[in-house]
Structure 1
Amino acid sequence: MLFDTHVHMNATQFIEDRDEVIHRAFANGVQYMVVVGFDRETIPLAIEIAEQYDTIYAAVGWHPVDAVDMTDEDLAWIEELSHHPKVVAIGEMGLDYHWDKSPKDVQKEVFRKQIQLAKKVNMPIIIHNREATEDILQILEEEGASEVGGIMHCYNDSVQYVQQCLDMNFYISLGGPVTFKNAPLPKEVAVEVPIDRLLVETDAPYLAPHPNRGKRNEPSYVKLVAEKIAELRGISLEELSKKTTENAFKLFQINR
């Protein structure tokens, strides 16, 4: 039994066959998933999908690339939605210095506001990080994010930052890149992270794992991620699946 902790089943890439993809995941042992909404269009659909399936949950937040578009009304809306019984986290949020749509200062402000909101509603946060590790860690520290903790989503950074993340009550989630031949960092992290702080994800429809790299990703492929991590750690897929699913239940406060 696997738990895909970060998937975008609300993406346009799944419009034509969403239910089919979800049932294919169930058939492949991926019984649980969190659908992540990150703007005005994707958040309602994330909740709608979660309402349709007993073992699917939602996260609501505002993506850093679109930080310039977020208003105070949007933040109040996210706070209201955080009380929905199927919403289990705030995010994804964070910083993205790869794209230049939103200025860095705006991204930081929106990031801080969402951390403060998460602390107010006592929910874990999901962190998006692209080329901004030092600033993200500084803001998490300054805002006291350790009070709620959360996930370093699709971690693809150096092992040197892992302990700092763990010390702030964050789990490390690995996705498709851990299977890539030219991606040494997530492989190192997969071995070093304590198993009780490890999660798996797809980030579907993006970052499909080998041998499907370059194709549309889907939650059933999280098994390929888990298999690779189990191989790297020298443990069985069953053990890796059991532990990462337990970790997700604990983080998201899901009682099963």
Structure 2
Amino acid sequence: MNRLVRAAAAGVLTLSLVAGVASVQAADEVSDAERSRIEGVVRDYLLKNPEIVQEALVALEKKQEEEKVAKRKEMMSENSGALFDSPRQVVLGNPDGKITVVEFFDYNCGVCRRGYGDMMKVLKENDDVKFVLKEFPILGRPSQEAARVAIALHLTDPDKYLDFHTAMFALEGGVNEEKALMVAENLGADMDALKKNMDNPEIFKTVEEVYTLANGLGLTGTPSYVVGTEVFGGLIGYEQMSKVIASMRECGETSC
């Protein structure tokens, strides 16, 4: 919680304490003078013991984080099928792997490009990892266009998806429908079938499913990862990802 937010919260907390005491006393129809005296006592006490406000803010922040984590775990439990085993998702690595890493990505995300290299290295070194890719086009219309081509390709020729994914992240600059179609054509995709599938309702349903999951998880950017019951916002990096996978293998948690 930054300084400005803490200051505002402290002010709200102080006013709430004063108002709370006053409202309780109001039930006994105390006089304005008595109410002012009570408010003065509370104010003086807080000024002499400001650490109480700090302690309350820390406790509030901790409670809110715990509630956030609990809500997220509940959401994961209720939507585990769509999150980890959706028929619409792309699976790389071992489809029956005991450890699942879910990545939400955007083809115009520069950090996702770095994450691609980490993912491939992890898959090469771990034969018990299942990597799930979720198209999460949040960087404007070009990203939405690229995702549409990617999903259509996966529907048309899923065996070409990894090569497509690799080639997309190898392109210089931003990507859009035109560049995505060029990549697919260079890979020998059936372009007539692919373009026909670009109007398939499944594309909308796939993106909608991903956005619903992302909103439920509180994701605001790419890349974002889900491992076990934990969400990682931003690039994990090869070393940390390797540690997380090792912990999952050892104790079923992202940190043992």
Fold agreement, TM-score > 0.5: no
Please give the TM-score of this superposition, normalised by the length of structure 2. 0.28
Greater strand share, structure number: 1
Greater helix share, structure number: 2
Larger radius of gyration: 2
Please give the TM-score of this superposition, normalised by the length of structure 1. 0.28
